[in-house]
């Protein structure tokens, strides 16, 4: 009963936080801490629900919607932490309601629990991978906002939500911060996979491994292009979204087919 109540309450708090952020856009006098406090409370409740769902006596439960809920939670946590240093809570208008929905879906029994047993090292590899996915997901969200902002500026239509986003330069800097951290964690995930998995190119893992490596290469090219050649704007957005698409296909693509379709 507690996970259900906590999940519903977390979902409500996420949505209230997003609504309050939306209402405060453009109002410099409104205190920033109120919607962020609601989001923090939601994340704490969400963490309790995830702890109940994921950690089972027989291993880790990372069924499709549980994994989706975990990644959504990590993305929201990263937004909240980033708000300490930059005024980017406008990202929560989109992300927080999605995370609220994810807390509800994780409790619904659409699929059987997917229990992953094994050593602590193997489970650590899996959690590092999930963190990498969440960082690059946040980078993809940032890339979409950057694309919207860039298009509005080029079309001489700087109205709507554009007025409340940070300057374009700051948005690009934030994008590459997310992607740089995501690249580091993804590298750790691939290294730990080669070390702790008996055969990382086994039949049931080969598509995940190959797509993850291709995504890693895409991030290498993007980061080299950024720091050596000053890539920005559309080219940075395209490479960011390509790396994100490859990673999500590697992880959620197979889970979607195996757990929900077949």
Q: What is the DSSP string of 181-228?
A: HHHHHHHHHHHHHHHHSS-TTSTTTHHHHHHHHHHHHHHHHHHHHHHH
- What is the model's pLDDT at position 111? 58
Does the pLDDT value for residue 13 go beyond 80? yes
Residues 194-221 have pLDDT tens digits of 887 766 666 556 778 888 899 999 999 9
Name residue, tokens 């027989």: 58
Comparing C-alpha atoms, which of 152, 149, 154, 151 is closest to residue 169?
A: 149
pLDDT at 254: 59
Question: What is the spatial distance between Cα 32 and Cα 127, in angstroms, rounded to a whole number?
Answer: 31
Q: Over pLDDT 70: what percentage of the chain?
A: 85
Percentage of the residues of the chain whose pLDDT score is greater than 90: 36
pTM of the model: 0.81
- What is the pLDDT of the chain when averaged over all its residues? 84
Residue 95: Cβ-neighbour burial (10 angstroms; 0-12, 13-18, 19+): buried
Under 8 Å between Cβ of 133 and 75: no
Q: How far apart are CA 193 and CA 96, in angstroms?
A: 31
Give the per-residue pLDDT at 10.
97
Burial 144-173 (b: 16+ CB within 10 A, else e): ebbbebbebeeeeeeeeebebbbeeeebbe
Decide if pLDDT at 255 tops 70: no
**How many angstroms separate the CA atoms of 147 and 111, rounded?**
35
Are 75 and 138 a contacting pair, CB within 8 Å? yes
Band (63; pLDDT cuts 50, 70, 90): confident
The model's pLDDT over 220-248, given as tens digits with 9 standing for 90+, comes to: 999 999 989 888 888 999 999 999 999 88
Model confidence at 36: pLDDT above 80: yes
With a cut of 90, say whether residue 249 has pLDDT above it: no
**Each residue of 147-199: pLDDT tens digit?**
888 888 888 776 666 666 777 887 888 889 889 999 999 999 999 888 877 66
On the question of pLDDT at 113 being above 80, the answer is no
Q: Who wins on pLDDT, 14 or 200?
A: 14
- Give me the count of residues in the chain: 262
Q: Which of 87, 247, 106, 239 has its CA nearest to residue 170?
A: 87
Name 61's bridge partners.
115
Token pair 């087919």 is found at 257
Say which residue, 6 or 122, is predicted with more confidence: 6
Between the CA of residue 142 and those of 122, 230, 239, what are the distances in Å? 31, 18, 13
């Amino acid at each position: 009963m507690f996970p259900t109540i906590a999940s519903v309450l977390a979902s409500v708090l996420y949505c209230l936080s997003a609504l309050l952020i939306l209402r405060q856009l453009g109002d410099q006098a409104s205190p920033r801490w109120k919607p962020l406090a609601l989001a923090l409370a939601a994340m704490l409740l969400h963490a309790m629900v995830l702890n109940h769902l994921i950690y089972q006596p027989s291993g880790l439960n990372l069924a499709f919607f549980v994994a989706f809920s975990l990644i959504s939670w990590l993305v929201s946590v990263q937004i909240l932490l980033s708000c300490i240093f930059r005024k980017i809570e406008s990202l929560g208008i989109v992300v927080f309601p999605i995370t609220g929905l994810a807390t509800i879906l994780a409790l619904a029994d659409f699929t059987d629990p997917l229990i992953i047993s094994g050593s602590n090292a193997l489970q650590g590899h899996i959690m590092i991978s999930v963190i990498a996915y969440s960082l690059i997901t946040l980078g993809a969200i940032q890339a979409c906002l950057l694309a919207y902002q860039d298009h509005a500026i080029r079309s001489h239509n700087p109205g709507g939500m554009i007025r409340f986003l940070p300057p374009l330069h700051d948005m690009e800097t934030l994008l590459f911060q997310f992607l740089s951290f995501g690249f580091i964690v993804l590298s750790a995930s691939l290294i730990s996979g080669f070390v702790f998995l008996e055969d990382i190119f086994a039949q049931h893992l080969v598509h995940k491994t190959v797509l993850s490596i291709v995504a890693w290469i895409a991030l290498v090219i993007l980061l080299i292009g950024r720091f050596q050649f000053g890539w920005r704007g559309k080219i940075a957005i395209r490479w960011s979204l390509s790396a994100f698409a490859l990673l999500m296909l590697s992880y959620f693509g197979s889970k979607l087919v195996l757990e929900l379709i077949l």
